[in-house]
Homo-oligomer: A and B are copies of this chain.
Amino acid sequence: MSMMKAAVFIEPGRIELVDKPIPPVGPNDALVRITTTTICGTDVHILKGEYPVARGLTVGHEPVGIIEKLGSNVQGYQEGQRVIAGAICPSFSSYASQDGYPAQDGGCSCHGYKPMGGWRFGNSIDGTQAEYVLVPDAQGNLAPVPDGLSDEQVLMCPDIMSTGFAGAEAANIRIGDVVAVFAQGPIGLCATAGAKLRGASCIIVVDGVEQRLEIARKMGADITLNFNQVDVVAEILRLTGGRGVDASIEALGLQSTFENALRVLKPGGTLSSLGVYSSDLTIPLGAFHAGLGDNKIVTSLCPGGKERMRRLINVVASGRIDLSPLVTHEYALDDIVAAYDLFAHQRDGVLKVAIKPF
């Protein structure tokens, strides 16, 4: 049996590189040799033990690579073809998928739904921070990458870009909308880019790091606010003449960003939430207009599947968006522990790290 290197969760505080067998390929699977992957904020939660996964599980959920071997039922692809797959890899045959919620894929059981059930890489099955990854339900999840695009150009598609755009899509942005985006980490930056793609005429972004606010301008932000320097709620209300924004996007996962996103919203507006929260949330009565403001709060988990990936790749290929400024560092897989250390401590202006197994 051939072996490969893989970054696995050992125990809280420890993700380490180990040797593991290369998995066998079932009829609906594809084995992909990873050429580039990355580390996500969620992986840091796993590292710290804040989000529990099985000990020994390979972590990571953002694959760019080459098809090494295709399952016997997977058609229309070739071994040797370069592909990505979404961070969320649903079985599209499930009840939840057919109901419109593939990311909440409940598998084949009568239950129908499993919260975040479509997120399998580095959660319920071995992930992508390894030399090889097994892509389940490959027929629905393998997305070919055109020759003209580099790994780095499509590295954000599986998660960051799909999630950020989903925040803009769920916000139901219309042409001419004013949109506020709270937090400009990688996902918030993609939400900013997504809001521009949907036709917002004014995008106001909030963060505390000037470097991120600068990149935000490149992604489409019209106005940048540093929460260390201004009362962002008061400032956004002032900028909108007291009207509030049509939509706000929360891209961090804190009570303060959630609450501010609600406070700046016009009656009738939509709060689109992308953050992963770690405690109960409070909805302030006044900002919620006592429940009578025709407001909406919507949450989105990263959409996956080959059609979603195809669309995101096309956006990159069209030049509508350039996410290369987000890849600030590169590490070999062998040095992934150092990469985690950099990323977890947000040192050196890191946004995203490219990990190269080979």
Residues of A within 8 A of B (CB): 26-28, 72-76, 91-104, 106-117, 137, 139-141, 165, 169, 174-178, 194, 197-199, 201-202, 222, 241-244, 253, 266-268, 273-285, 288-301, 305-308, 310-312, 314-315, 317-318, 320
Q: Which B residues are CB-close (under 8 A) to A106?
A: 243
- Once A96-B267, A285-B281, A306-B98 are accepted as A-B contacts, the answer to whether A116 and B176 lie under 8 Å apart by CB is no
Greatest chain B CB density within 10 A among A73, A141, A278, A299 is at A299
- Once A97-B92, A279-B285, A307-B99 are accepted as A-B contacts, the answer to whether A243 and B113 lie under 8 Å apart by CB is yes
B108:A76 contact, CB within 8 angstroms: yes
B292:A299 contact, CB within 8 angstroms: yes
Instruction: Please tell me which one of the listed residues B114, B198, B202, B284 contacts residue A199 in the complex, with CB atoms under 8 A apart.
Output: B198
What are 13 A-B residue pairs whose CB atoms fall within 8 Å in the complex? Answer: A74-B108, A95-B306, A98-B102, A100-B268, A104-B268, A104-B293, A175-B311, A176-B312, A177-B311, A199-B320, A277-B285, A277-B288, A281-B282
With A and B bound together, what is the CA distance between A166 and B273 in angstroms?
24
With A and B bound together, what is the CA distance between A23 and B241 in angstroms?
34
Q: Is the interface of A mostly helix, strand, loop or mixed?
A: loop
A176:B277 contact, CB within 8 angstroms: no
- Once A202-B318, A307-B98 are accepted as A-B contacts, the answer to whether A299 and B299 lie under 8 Å apart by CB is no
Copies of this chain: 4
B108:A75 contact, CB within 8 angstroms: yes
Using CB atoms, name the residue of chain B closest to A300: B294
With A and B bound together, what is the CA distance between A117 and B201 in angstroms?
26
Least CB distance from A197 to B in Å reads 4
Using CB atoms, name the residue of chain B closest to A76: B108
B278:A284 contact, CB within 8 angstroms: no
B199:A175 contact, CB within 8 angstroms: no
Instruction: Please tell me which one of the listed residues B201, B222, B296 contacts residue A297 in the complex, with CB atoms under 8 A apart.
Output: B296
Using CB atoms, name the residue of chain B closest to A114: B267
Instruction: Please tell me which one of the listed residues B27, B293, B318 contacts residue A116 in the complex, with CB atoms under 8 A apart.
Output: B293
Using CB atoms, name the residue of chain B closest to A42: B292
The 3 closest A-B pairs by CB, nearest first: A176-B311, A93-B140, A101-B268
Q: Which B residues are CB-close (under 8 A) to A98?
A: 92, 102, 140, 305-308
B99:A268 contact, CB within 8 angstroms: yes
A109:B174 contact, CB within 8 angstroms: no
- Once A93-B93, A93-B139, A285-B277 are accepted as A-B contacts, the answer to whether A244 and B116 lie under 8 Å apart by CB is no
Least CB distance from A284 to B in Å reads 6
B307:A301 contact, CB within 8 angstroms: no
Q: Which B residues are CB-close (under 8 A) to A308?
A: 98
Least CB distance from A317 to B in Å reads 7
Least CB distance from A73 to B in Å reads 6
Instruction: Please tell me which one of the listed residues B178, B282, B301 contacts residue A282 in the complex, with CB atoms under 8 A apart.
Output: B282
Using CB atoms, name the residue of chain B closest to A95: B307
A294:B202 contact, CB within 8 angstroms: no
With A and B bound together, what is the CA distance between A281 and B287 in angstroms?
11
Instruction: Please tell me which one of the listed residues B241, B296, B312, B317 contacts residue A298 in the complex, with CB atoms under 8 A apart.
Output: B296
B267:A113 contact, CB within 8 angstroms: yes
A113:B280 contact, CB within 8 angstroms: no
- Once A112-B243, A113-B244 are accepted as A-B contacts, the answer to whether A290 and B314 lie under 8 Å apart by CB is no
